[in-house]
């Protein structure tokens, strides 16, 4: 078994117009930089992209918005992107806003063979519109449906030829959930290693969820909000 | 400068909600500043919904790690004893009632404990992020905000007018003028800022305020 492919360009070859793609990351942290850039270069259109955020104007998913390749975004917060705002207001981009915990759980359900679940989040709000509400133990819950993708683009720190993945710090975020919730999962990693190099106890995404893997290049890993404390000082 | 000091007063009062051993999620913006006022000797573990228990201080210049941010996308550090997890685990903690306290900002709160802080119709909607899950799941929900808008309009209402973040979810409101508790009997004035009269608070509040002079305290900051 060898899931290793040459790179992002090969990875996006088979992605058709109109595909639904799950993209890992929180803000610009843990995003599949190489895959997003390759998809921009290929010019695939009418995409439905599910990702917590929509990148910034000139980086992350923002570059796919700029080139008008995205038809619809499924996200939880999209505040850092002017292009996004402009496309929304002009009606060129459709948006489904989902509470973040519901978004995460819909992905987990999607990867786990669970078609829907009840959650207390959003009861009594606009999010509940059109959804079944049911009472359990004298509390109200909403029925939310699983979310899956045709493809998932995930970013990990290290991965092996069999697709086992290890993440680093908060760059993990939605990546493991998305890896499990797509028909085809493509992983880009900073370090591609041989099977046996990863401690099996530390693997977060077992290789069964990953169809293709490659070592990415030229990671920018841009920081959105650079915040500091004075040297030697405390404070948050 | 007046707004600066009233913000600071709200932040310092909100920090008094912390208890030793609490797991706490602080919202983006003003609530994040509460971390600067954790009393010395008290252990409070801060949760970040993007996948970290144990937020540390901001990094020193040159020590930033792009793989380590908080929910506001700011560079942070981890404390000794921190733990990382994915987003579904993060919200299992939140929704599952494991987070003792969340402190959030608010645009409107009403006397039934309804909170609106994510959307203004007609303006660009940026999304609710994790706020709806936090108010649905945290054991205690404290909202900190200025008592009135910049235009002087009340934000503590009989009934929220903006779309809700959560229905009947708020336990306590901390403003620059007062501390108020949502109770089965209605909105109770618990504390009042030094130099402020009950009448002034009433005038700045649209909600019905219950006041018991026996229990009313001056804000302890």
Among A137-146, B94-103, B114-123, the range scoring the smallest mean pLDDT is B114-123
Task: Determine whether the interchain pair B163/A234 forms a contact, defined as Cβ–Cβ distance below 8 Å.
Answer: no
Position A234 confidence tier, pLDDT thresholds 50, 70, 90 = low
* Token pair in block for residue B150: 């910049």
pLDDT at A83 > cutoff 90? no
Query: Chain A: nearest CA to B150, how far in angstroms?
Result: 22
Assess whether pLDDT exceeds 70 at residue B3. Answer: no
Whole-number Å distance between alpha carbons of B190 and A23: 47
Interface of B with A in 119-148 (CB under 8 A): 119, 124-133, 136-137
pLDDT tens digits along A195-233: 999 999 999 999 999 999 999 999 999 999 999 988 765
Determine the pLDDT at residue B9. 93
What is the residue extent of each domain of chain A? 8-116+148-215
Of B64, B75, B133, the CB nearest to A100: B133
pLDDT value for B125: 86
The token duo for B4 is 């600066």
Report the CATH fold assignment for A8-116+148-215.
Glutaconate Coenzyme A-transferase (3.40.1080)
Tell me the H-state helices in chain B. Answer: 2-15, 87-95, 131-137, 198-203
Chain segment A126-173, per-residue pLDDT in tens: 999 999 999 999 999 999 999 999 999 999 999 999 999 999 999 999
Could you tell me if B121 and B160 are in contact, meaning their C-beta atoms sit under 8 angstroms apart?
Answer: no
Distance CA A200, CA A206 (A): 9
Of A52, A97, A172, nearest to B125 by CB-CB distance is: A97
Q: What is the mean pLDDT of residues A43-62?
A: 97
ipTM score over 0.90, yes or no: yes
pLDDT above 60 (res B4): no
Which of A122, A174, A221 has the CB atom closest to B66's CB atom?
A: A221
Q: Look up tokens 């404990």; give the residue.
A: B113
Enter the DSSP assignment of A79: T
**How high is the pLDDT of residue B1?**
39
The stretch B14-18 carries a mean pLDDT of: 97
Strand partners, A145: A116
Residue B185 has pLDDT above 70, yes or no: yes
> Which helix (H) or strand (E) is A112 found in, with range?
helix A100-112
Mean residue pLDDT across chain A: 96
User: Which chain A residues are within 8 Å of B126, Cβ to Cβ?
Assistant: 77-79
| Residues written for chain A | 236
The token duo for B111 is: 């006397």
Residues in chain B with CB shorter than 8 Å from the CB of A174 are: 86-87
Residues of chain A by 3-state class (helix, strand, coil), percent to 5 = 25, 30, 45
Give B37-51 pLDDT, tens digit per residue: 999 999 999 999 999
């Amino acid at each position: 078994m060898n899931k290793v492919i040459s790179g992002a360009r090969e990875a996006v070859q088979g992605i058709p117009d109109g595909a639904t793609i799950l993209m890992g990351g929180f803000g610009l942290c843990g995003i599949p930089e190489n895959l997003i850039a390759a998809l921009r270069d290929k010019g695939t259109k009418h995409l439905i992209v599910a990702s917590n955020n929509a990148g910034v104007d000139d980086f992350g998913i923002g570059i796919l918005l700029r080139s008008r390749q995205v038809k619809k975004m499924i996200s939880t917060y999209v505040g850092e992107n002017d292009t996004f705002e402009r496309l929304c207001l002009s009606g060129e981009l459709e948006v489904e806003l989902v509470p973040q915990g519901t978004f995460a759980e819909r992905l987990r359900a999607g990867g786990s063979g669970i078609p829907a679940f009840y959650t207390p989040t959003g009861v009594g709000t606009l999010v509940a519109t059109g959804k079944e509400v049911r009472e359990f133990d004298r509390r109200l819950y909403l029925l939310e449906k699983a979310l899956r993708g045709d493809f998932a683009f995930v970013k990990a720190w290290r991965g092996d030829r069999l697709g086992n993945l290890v993440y680093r710090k908060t760059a993990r975020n939605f990546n493991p959930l998305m890896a499990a919730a797509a028909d085809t999962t493509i992983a880009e990693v900073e370090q591609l290693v041989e099977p046996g190099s990863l401690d099996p106890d530390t693997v977060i995404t077992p290789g069964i969820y990953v169809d293709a893997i490659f070592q990415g290049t030229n990671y920018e890993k841009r920081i959105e909000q650079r915040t500091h404390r004075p040297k030697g000082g405390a404070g948050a | 400068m007046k707004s600066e000091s009233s913000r600071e007063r709200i932040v310092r009062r909100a920090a008094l909600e912390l208890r030793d051993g609490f797991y706490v999620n602080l919202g983006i913006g003003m609530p994040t500043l509460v971390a600067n006022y954790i009393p010395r000797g008290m252990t409070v573990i801060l949760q970040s919904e993007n996948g970290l228990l144990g937020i540390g201080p901001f990094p020193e210049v040159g020590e930033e790690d792009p793989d380590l941010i908080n929910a506001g996308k700011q560079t942070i550090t981890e404390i000794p004893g921190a733990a990382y997890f994915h987003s579904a685990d993060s919200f299992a903690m939140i929704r599952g009632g494991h987070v003792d306290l969340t402190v959030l900002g608010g645009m409107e709160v009403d006397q039934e404990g309804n909170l609106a802080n994510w959307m203004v119709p007609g303006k660009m909607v940026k999304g609710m992020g994790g706020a709806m899950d936090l108010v649905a799941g945290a054991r205690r929900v404290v909202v900190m905000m200025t008592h009135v808008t910049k235009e002087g309009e009340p934000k503590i209402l009989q009934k929220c007018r903006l779309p809700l973040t959560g229905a009947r979810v708020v336990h306590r409101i901390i403003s620059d003028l007062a501390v108020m508790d949502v109770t089965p009997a209605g909105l109770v004035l618990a504390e009042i800022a030094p130099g402020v009269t009950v009448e002034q608070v009433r005038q700045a509040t649209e909600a019905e305020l219950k006041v018991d002079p026996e229990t009313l305290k001056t804000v302890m900051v």
